[in-house]
Structure 1
Amino acid sequence: MNIIYIHQYFLTPEQGGATRSYHLAKGLVEQGIGVEMISTHNKPFYDLKIIDGIRVHYLPVAYDQNYGFIKRIWAFYKFVLASKKWIKKLPRPDYLYITSTPLTTGLVGLWAKRKFALPYIFEVRDLWPDAPIQVGAIRNPFAKKLLYALEQRIYQQALKIVALSPGIADNIRKKCPQADLHIIPNFADTEIFKKEKKSEPLLEKYGLKNTLTITYSGAIGKVNAVEEILDLARIAKAQDLPFQFVVMGKGSKLPDLLNKAKKLHLENFHHIPFGSKRAVNEVLNQSDIAFISFDHLPVLKTNSPNKFFDAIATGKAIFVNHKGWVHDLVKHFQIGYYYNSKNPNDGIEKLKLLASEPHLLNEMQNNAKSLSEEYFTKEIAVSRLLFVLYPKKFGGRTTDEVYILTA
């Protein structure tokens, strides 16, 4: 049994960031399935690395989050061309497993199916082109029409589709009712992310105090709305509340965030540079509450954000600023609160409540940890993927249970 796994931005836990593909591929290898991972790096040469049994082919296609629209599209197209060339060199697999974003990775599947009759499974991490259109990155009517047509064709030609959340699955069903659709949400690596007590040496290492701490860990980009945490910090400072607010990460909006915090003289705000998954675990465990935020666009309510699953694995209560699937989980399992960015004073009152009633905070944290262990571990995700790939050989937990969680 062999698959070619296509992910333009493959990352390991040591690199930090989104490591879903690493854990899924590693889990497949451990079950005796050969995995050839086709990815990229910002070096001018091809490289092959064997990472925990995964044969990772790094193609020389440079990319940076700060690229403009045209430069990004060119990087996406170059990866499609390079992937096609490399697939020709590899032994024929049982399947291509192709993960988005970007949507253009689906072009590799369409080509391989037409050229070699190779079936592909398409994993939808974010809804494209809905996301860039709603953000305003794509405005040309012809480009929109072209991308929506491409999206539908990729779905129609896929052997199976894997969605990362119920909202994404619902959207795909509307566009392609006949799709063989499965849900495999994001998850946390519970070998790295553990619930631990605050540590004086680690508090000192990160320049933090032993007080109620609210932390955002993740990308700081246009769609992440991380600046909303500063409203809480501003009001907490005005009320002389002993709370601290932490942002750990990098992205195009980081300079704006730091400038705004400086102008507001927010001594209770701390930025910690982007780090490995182990570093994220350390920072989360010096925190009490995780701040989960996205810009207020309908498409972003369907997200299955890594930062949420990492946070609940470390047993953190949750503040979520949008009413999507994550909010439904937070409410249903009583692991935190909805934060209305238009009414930050209400958010401060909720923080004051949790600070004054530690038993309530502790209950939310325990509920979060239990939710992570019961439904969102990498082992459960790998089991689901094995069932999708080889249903006759591997049993698995039903993917429909993710709907039931918030019914």
Structure 2
Amino acid sequence: MKKIWIWNHYATEMYKVKGGRHYWFAENLQKIGYDVTIFCANTYHYTEEYIDTGRKKYVTNMINNIPFVFVKTKLSTENGLDRIMNMVVFFYNIFAVAKEYIKENGTPDFILASSVHPLTMVAGIKVAKRLNIPCICEIRDLWPEAIFKFNKLKEESLLGKLLIKGEHWIYKNADALIFTKEGDTDYIKERKWDVAQGGEVNLDKAYYINNGLDIEEFNRAISENMLDDKDLETEKFNITYIGTIRPVNNVGNILDAAKHLKDDPNFQFLIYGDGNQREMLEKRIVEEDITNVKIKGFIEKKYIPYILSKSSVNILNYSNTQYNWSRGNSSNKLFEYMASGKPIISTVSMGYSIIEKYKCGLELETGSHDELAEAIIKVKELSPSKYEELSRNAKNGAEYFDFKVHTQKLLEIIESL
């Protein structure tokens, strides 16, 4: 039985909700005979909640036969120094935790080290080299590019240059690379790090496995986790957004689009989520008398399938300026939207477009509020057969992002090593 360690600093949330990328990888790998353990922080991201490790550097707990190893680190309730210390302490402790865990459970055959932050991958490569085993590095967000894009750090700064150097070291030294966006290898080519341009990164070891979902669980949740909400039972045309309410999501754009349609009582906008712009948007709704929008706030993940089953069209709403969409999209909600079997409107036109590939919705050129309003009207006025075609395409397309399919892709990578 092959042993696989999955390292993801933030997989603590997957333990809590019994789902998510690495939970589903572990679940499916175990079904075919692999021994999988997930290592994560003992803290929950942006909260004061944590799993007590006492005086130990780690504790282990089992959920649905999946062992989770909680590595002791510091609380981090917001971005800034606390979050940096949270990452650094996790990085420092995981070396000792790996050594101790091997004494009791044996040496793994593979390490899958996953970002978001790169220190987890650095630790994975270093430990794997000591153990003389392969390390697969999974890049779920391009750091430090994302930091530069949000103007949190200048690329030309000393720290910026050090981060880029560390990123290059990871790509060079990993035994395999997994990217969650199809076009992320374009970034390596842009940097001229690939072998074809005289660099040191062999793109033959780079693979693409996007995010996705457990479709069987998604469909079961529709009937098992129903939400008592009269707005979901209405005969109105429900335009639904689920996600974070922060600048990159540009949710204010949805409010502006709603104002174009407020004279038609058949339209209803439902916004589920929370974030640092929620209060500002709620204030706008009152002050600007936007009567066709309801901000529902945070919603437990288990209710999302039912909510989407009651939608008429789902909105992927993003800023066109605060992120590079040319390499594709790995947003979890995209695949939940698809699995709901409802048309999707994206306010950005993306490279490697999944919506275009599976013909399940519309992508807008500018993403302006008036263009969004026009797109909503267009979907509402579709013939029943055309609407059903988009819906069917969405549902069929989601099948390619089921984690049973993704696990087979991961197995091919493992077997190649």
Decide whether aligned partners of structure 1 residues 343 and 17 sit closer, same or farther in structure 2, where only a CA change above 3 A counts.
farther
Matches of residues 8-407 of structure 1 in structure 2 within 5 Å?
A: 8-10=9-11, 15=16, 19-42=20-43, 43=50, 45-46=52-53, 47-64=59-76, 67-90=78-101, 91-139=106-154, 141-174=157-190, 175-177=193-195, 178-179=202-203, 180-194=205-219, 202=227, 204=229, 209-237=234-262, 239-296=263-320, 297-302=322-327, 303-325=329-351, 328-340=353-365, 343-359=368-384, 360-373=386-399, 375-391=400-416
Inter-partner Cα distance in structure 1 for 2:159 and 2:285: 38
Residue 4 of structure 1 aligns with an amino acid whose one-letter code is: W
Q: Could you tell me how far apart the structure 2 residues matched to 1:226 and 1:86 are?
A: 42
Q: Judge which range, 32-41 or 215-224, deviates more.
A: 215-224
Q: Which amino acid aligns with 2:40?
A: S
Q: Closer, same or farther in 2 for the Cα pair 1:267/1:14, shift >3 Å? A: farther
Q: Deviation digits for residues 6-30 of structure 1, max 9, x if unmatched?
A: 0111156785598111111111111
| Partner Cα distance (2:256, 2:265) in 1 | 14
By how many angstroms is 1:151 displaced?
A: 0.4
In 1, Cα distance between equivalents of 2:245 and 2:144: 21
Distance 1:14 1:113 in 2: 24
Contact 1:98 / 1:106 at 8 angstroms: preserved in 2? yes
- State the partner residue of 1:2: 3
When residues 87 and 222 of structure 1 are mapped into structure 2, their CA distance, relative to the original with a 3 A threshold, is farther
Letter in 2 for 1:105: T
Distance 1:143 1:192 in 2: 43
Contact 2:221–2:305 under 8 Å retained in 1: no
Counterpart secondary structure, 2:217:
coil
In structure 1, distance between residues paired with 2:5 and 2:227: 41
CA offsets, 1:197-252, max 9 Å, x none? Answer: 99xx8573556632111212122334222222112112211x33521112222233
CA distance, structure 2, for counterparts of residue 102 and residue 156 of structure 1: 17
Render the CA deviation track for 1:22-77: whole Å, top value 9, x for unaligned.
1111111112111121112332622422122221012233555x613222211111
Change (3 A) 1:197 1:50: closer
Amino acid in the other structure paired with 1:133? F
RMSD over aligned Cα atoms: 2.8
CA distance change for structure 1 residues 380 and 11 in 2, over 3 Å: closer, same or farther?
farther
Residue type of the alignment partner of 1:77:
V
1:351 Cα offset (Å):
1.6
List per-residue Cα deviations over 1:276-316 (Å, max 9, x = no partner).
43300011111011111232245344331100001101112
TM normalised by structure 1 equals 0.86
Deviations 1:97-152 (A, max 9, x none): 01110122122123314543342100011111101111112237111101100000
Shift of 1:383: 0.6
Q: Bigger relative contact order, structure 1 or 2, given CA contacts below 8 A and separation 6+? A: 1
Quote the Cα distance in structure 2 between the aligned partners of 1:342 and 1:23. Answer: 34
**Superposition deviation, residue 329 in structure 1:** 2.4
What letter corresponds to residue 65 of structure 2 in structure 1?
G
SS at match of 1:58: strand
Tell me the TM-score normalised to structure 2 length. Answer: 0.84
Shift of 1:256: 2.9
Q: Given residue 125 of structure 2, which amino acid in structure 1 is its aligned partner? A: L
| Structure 1 residue 196, shift from structure 2 partner | 11
Unaligned runs of 5+ in 1: 393-407
Identity of aligned residues (%): 23
Using the TM superposition, name which of 337-346 and 316-325 deviates more: 337-346
- Asked if structure 1 preserves the Cα contact closer than 8 Å seen for 2:38 and 2:68, the reply is yes
Structure 2: which 5+ runs fail to align? 44-49, 54-58, 196-201
* Whole-angstrom CA distance in 1 between matches of 2:152 and 2:258: 30
Distance in 2 between the 1:356 and 1:218 partners? 26
Question: Aligned pair in 2 of structure 1 residues 85, 196: CA closer, same or farther (>3 Å)?
Answer: closer
SS in structure 2 of the partner of residue 337 of structure 1: strand
User: Contact between 2:355 and 2:362, CA under 8 Å: does it hold in 1?
Assistant: yes
In the alignment, what sits opposite 1:397?
Answer: none
Please list every run of at least 4 consecutive aligned residues from structure 1 whose deviation after the TM superposition is greater than 4 angstroms. 11-18, 195-198, 205-208
Letter matched to residue 123 of structure 1: E
